[in-house]
Amino acid sequence: MKIDLTPQLDFKNVLIRPKRTTLNSRSQVNIEREFKFAHSTETWTGVPIIAANMDTTGTFGVYDVLSQNKMITCLNKFYGLDDFKEAIKVRELNPEYFMISTGIQEASFSTLHDIVELTKAKWICVDVANGYMEQVITYCRKLRASFPNKIIVAGNVATREIVEELIINGKVDGVKVGIGPGSACLTRLKTGVGVPQLTAIIECADAAHGVGGFIIGDGGITCPGDMSKAFGGGADFVMCGGIFAGHDENPGKIVEEENKQGEKKSYKLFYGMSSEHAMTKHYGGMEKYRSSEGRLIKLPYRGPLINTVRDYLGGIRSTCTYINAKCIKNMPKCTTFLMVSQQINTHLV
């Protein structure tokens, strides 16, 4: 047993120190980035924000909104070939702005081939809760052999050594970073395992960049300021679930309930993909050898998704004007974190 006494930071533990700036307007900030990759021969340009591949957010409806803003939707792995055939009848799927999700089961490999061929997908996401399993490395190598030019990402992990292993030996281009920070995730409660998300991003970004790869900070975002902190900490992309849920474009009915004061409130359901709700929906129930590592949440109804998108993009631009970062790529080198005991005044909240 060992104890690491190094301070471990989450987004709530820091603020970003403002600096003298030559930027006079948020409109001067470029929030798009261009990427080249460690193994893929492709390039990519866009806004490096990704909707998580949960079945409430990794949907074609969310894609329709995010793609218009050059953001990526990681489509959930419960979409089959027939779903994609139907989807392309009513919309053009731009390969720049969606990812195809896959697990590591050999049985689904041929279906993945068919979906990638049909959609001309550019991005493939190997999505498992525990990216430390050796089978993940093996599967990623097989995926690279079959799709040598695709942009391949895998995760989730939260420490530097496995990031390097996935990029060097797994032949992936990017790694999803985050064990348990999501609002609908119970992994930390059920297992005691995790790394505070900002520290995980800082350490894993340093490791990935050292070997030519990139990271996706996955989870823990509660407000635009958190997203700016993730980018400031070195995340190349930020993936979010909860902030993109609860809107008109998300699946599910709007539910009305009365609170204790008799006021009617509107909600939509949001749940973790390791929750009993998700397991029952997609697999017919929870296996006896596992526990539910996700929660079911009633999110206040938020209206059109575009409003949230604009709020977050505006927040990032504003952060950049405070720290003299002319583009989102420059945020890490312009960021100084201050450890704090309080972020906001909640006296009248």
**Using N-to-C axis directions, what is the helix angle for 160-168 and 134-146, rounded to 10°?**
30
CA quadruple 174, 125, 96, 315: dihedral sign: negative
Residue pointed to by tokens 């104890």: 3
**Does residue 126 contact residue 104 with C-beta atoms inside 8 Å?**
yes
What would the two tokens of residue 89 be? 């009848």
Catalytic residue, chosen from 140, 185, 320, 334, is 185
Instruction: Compute the distance between CA of residue 163 and CA of residue 213 in angstroms, rounded to an integer.
Output: 9
Instruction: Compute the distance between CA of residue 189 and CA of residue 219 in angstroms, rounded to an integer.
Output: 16
Instruction: Compute the distance between CA of residue 208 and CA of residue 160 in angstroms, rounded to an integer.
Output: 8
Beta bridge partners of 298: 269
Question: Among this protein's residues, is 185 annotated catalytic?
Answer: yes
CA angle 205, 4, 14 (to 5 degrees): 55
Beta bridge partners of 127: 155
**Does residue 175 contact residue 213 with C-beta atoms inside 8 Å?**
yes
CA quadruple 317, 319, 322, 327: dihedral sign: negative
Residue pointed to by tokens 């609170």: 259
Active site residues: 185
